[in-house]
Amino acid sequence: MTRESWATRFGFILAAVGSAVGLGNIWRFPWMTAQNGGSAFLVMYLAIILVVGVPGLLAEFVIGRRAKLNPVGALSSLSGSRGWGWFGLFNVLTSLVLLSFYTVVGGWILRYLVASLSGGYFASPGSFFSAISFGWGAAGYGVLFLLATAAIVLAGVRRGIELGTKLMMPAIVVLLVALALWAAGQPNAGAGLSFFLTFDPGYLRAHFVSVLVAAAGQALFTLSLGVGTMITYASYLDEDRSLPSDGATIAVLNTLVGVLAGFVVFPLLFSQGIDPGTGGPGALFVSVAGAFSAVAFGRVVAVAFFFVVTLAALSSSISMLEIPVAYLVDEHGLSRRRATLLPVAVLVVSGAATALDPSLFSLFADTMVNLMLTVGLLGFLLFAGWVLGPDALAEYVLGADGVGRATGPAWLWAVRTLLPLFLLGTLVVALLALAGVTAPLVVSVLP
């Protein structure tokens, strides 16, 4: 049986952008930005996307296209070592951990989409969120979201993922632009935009390390790095197209959508006099949803908004599920149908457990995700840089234009040295923070 592949280059780019654009841009990005000094975070985040995100993305692309296999098969066959295969299994596990909480949040979004039709949460957004966020209802909606994800993946790479993202991405962009224009017309919108866009170097100086760590975590999450999604997607490339320019396009589009989401969320919060720093992970659901209740045509806007978020979340969750599916198809010869149903069965249980237990949810969504993605990308960089080495460079320049080829040597150097050191640094800070050593203390031991 021949392995599946993308029908067009555009289809691959859209699928990868679909993976990148997700809850990370709309739910996590405004929340992280608000918690880390607004524009100070934005500036740091953009810098990390450029310096770490794009080269990291290209490392995954190089591994995937070279091997034309899932992460487990790619790492073990390219290295000839079982040890790297185990690392690939760690990636598969990461995708299951991610999906366990992502489908719960996806379920919340579905619930809000339904409730927006009737304005169900308009009277008291805060108590609505606490009533629905955990429990059997949350588990049920989470399973619904999981099944929608599975239905797309089941249909295959071309007829499921590629076709699905081709329909979803334009809808997301058009609706977000419309929502941003609408939000700009709300009273006091300017204050929201200036919170988002006015750069405050003082804040950055005072909180450098914590902003850095948060921005690095967000950059990995939003570009879908460190799980093997981008390895898997690049493994379905069958022609030699330019990886550097595709990678840059994907990063730029993802960032634009993230910033566009900020243009919707911040003016809306300020127009209702809501402090963006409050709310944490519930911000989207409590403050933003609350703002809809106060504006004209709130229901229509709310439906449009949660519809966008549903599409964005789905186009990302399919890319997470494709990791175990590709693994089971490539390595164990399962049909796509069985390879989809098996992880889905596991996820019904792990997702329900996550929906029933808030502490499990935050363990997955905060701690484990940050650590697992960082370790994952660290492994991919070391693999591309040191195990593949010159082969990685050869793959990088294959099909690239002059500009792309010129960046090759600098890329390989960064992938070997600078970027692993950077990730190791953020890993140490994150582990110290877990051990109770907080960022200010870490700062004081830095030169």
- For the bound state, the minimum distance from the C-beta of residue 72 to ligand PHE, rounded and expressed in Å, comes to 16
SS3 for 420? helix
The radius of gyration of the chain from alpha carbons, rounded to an integer in Å, stands at 21
Give 413's contacts (C-beta < 8 A, 6+ positions apart): none
Q: Between 274 and 321, whose beta carbon lies closer to ligand PHE?
A: 321
Nearest approach, Cβ of 20 to ligand PHE (angstroms)?
A: 5
Q: Which is nearer to ligand PHE, 224 or 354 (CB)?
A: 224
CB of 294 to ligand PHE, least distance (A): 28
Near ligand PHE by CB under 6 A: residue from 42, 183, 227, 283: 227
Q: Give 23 or 183: the residue with its C-beta nearer to ligand PHE.
A: 23
**Smallest distance from the beta carbon of 230 to ligand PHE, in angstroms?**
8
- Alpha-carbon dihedral sign for residues 257, 260, 264, 265: positive
The distance of closest approach from Cβ of residue 322 to ligand PHE in the complex, given in angstroms and rounded to an integer, is: 9
Which of 20, 365 has the CB closer to ligand PHE? 20
- Residue 362 carries which side chain, given as an amino acid letter? S
Q: Is 235 in the site for ligand PHE (CB under 6 A)?
A: no
- Residue bearing tokens 């399973």: 143
Tokens, residue 391 = 């082969």
Given a contact cutoff of 8 angstroms between Cβ atoms, the answer to whether 351 and 147 are in contact is: no
Report, in Å, the least distance between residue 94 CB and ligand PHE: 8
Among 25, 39, 287, 350, contact with ligand PHE (rule: CB under 6 A)? 25
For position 224 contacting ligand PHE by CB under 6 A, the verdict is: yes
What's the count of helices (H) and strands (E) in the chain, helices before strands? 25, 0
Residues with Cβ < 8 Å from 429, sequence gap 6 or more?
209, 213, 439, 442
At its nearest, how many Å lie between ligand PHE and the CB of residue 365? Answer: 11
Residue 442, both tokens: 């870490």
User: Based on the number of CB atoms within 10 Å of its own CB, is 69 exposed (0-12), middle (13-18) or buried (19 or more)?
Assistant: buried
19 lies in the binding site for ligand PHE (CB under 6 A): yes
Q: Which of 15, 20, 146, 318 binds ligand PHE (CB under 6 A)?
A: 20
Q: Indicate the residue among 165 and 224 with the shorter CB distance to ligand PHE.
A: 224
Shortest distance, position 323 Cβ to ligand PHE, whole Å: 8
In 3D, which of 60, 28, 75 has the Cα closest to residue 319? 60
| Complex with ligand PHE: residue 25 or 407, whichever CB lies closer | 25
Query: Which of 11, 12, 14, 24: binder of ligand PHE (CB under 6 A)?
Result: 24
Eight-state DSSP code of residue 7 = S
Q: Which residue lies nearer to ligand PHE by CB, 98 or 152?
A: 98
CA–CA dist 111, 101 (Å, integer): 15
Is residue 289 helix, strand or coil?
A: helix
Cβ distance to ligand PHE smaller for residue 274 or 314: 314
Site track for ligand PHE across 314-353, x = CB under 6 A: --x--xx---------------------------------
297: which residues sit within 8 A by CB, 6+ positions away? none
Regarding 222 and contact with ligand PHE (CB under 6 A), the answer is: yes
Q: Quick one: which of 208, 210, 184, 204 has its CA closest to 262? A: 184
Site string for ligand PHE, 84-103 (x = CB under 6 A): --------------x-----
Q: Is 165 in the site for ligand PHE (CB under 6 A)?
A: no
| Distance from C-alpha of 150 to C-alpha of 331, rounded to nearest angstrom | 20
Site residues (CB under 6 A) for ligand PHE, limited to 40-79? none
Contact assessment for residue 198 and residue 266, using Cβ atoms and an 8 Å cutoff: no
User: Considering beta carbons, is residue 271 or 316 the nearer one to ligand PHE?
Assistant: 316
Alpha carbon distances (Å) from 133 to 101, 112, 136, 310, 348:
12, 11, 10, 16, 17
Residue nearest to ligand PHE (CB): 24
Q: Are 404 and 243 in contact (CB under 8 A)?
A: yes
- Interface residue list for ligand PHE (CB under 6 A): 19-20, 22-25, 98, 221-222, 224, 227, 229, 316, 319-320
